[in-house]
Amino acid sequence: MWLFTTLGFHSVVQHRDNAGQVFIRARFKDDLVRLCRRFTIPEDSVLDTPDADYGYRIAIPKKQRIEIARSLAESVDYDNFKTAAHSGDRVKDGALLQIWRVMRKAQKQKGI
């Protein structure tokens, strides 16, 4: 599952070796650090995984994943995600805008 939030971009997948846990992965370490700070997850649990698809990850219990997703959904208080997620980081903000454009183009191609 991909999550685009004001904390950053995260990918949530089942932990391959532990059925009771999931990995939350990120391309940018600061996206995971912000998540850790918000949900009192030890920052030193962020693993550097430079040889993997995502450069950073944390392992958490599945139950905590549900609590995090619920909390993030309940905290939406903005009427424009791109504006709320704007970080001032040119690279990350540009990537987010490109994703928006690609999905908008796909919507138009479907005639919607």
Work out whether the CA dihedral 49, 50, 52, 54 comes out positive or negative.
positive
Mean pLDDT confidence for 94-100 = 95
Mean pLDDT confidence for 83-105 = 95
Give me the pLDDT at residue 22, please: 98
**Dist CA 102 CA 109 (whole Å):** 11
* Averaged confidence pLDDT in the chain: 96
**Dist CA 66 CA 56 (whole Å):** 20
Distance of CA 9 to the CA centre of its chain: 3
Cβ neighbours for 40, distance < 8 A, ≥ 6 positions apart: none
Give me the pLDDT at residue 112, please: 81
Looking at this protein, which amino acid is placed at residue 13?
A: V
Looking at this protein, which amino acid is placed at residue 112?
A: I
pTM of the model: 0.91
Mean pLDDT confidence for 21-46 = 97
Give me the pLDDT at residue 108, please: 96
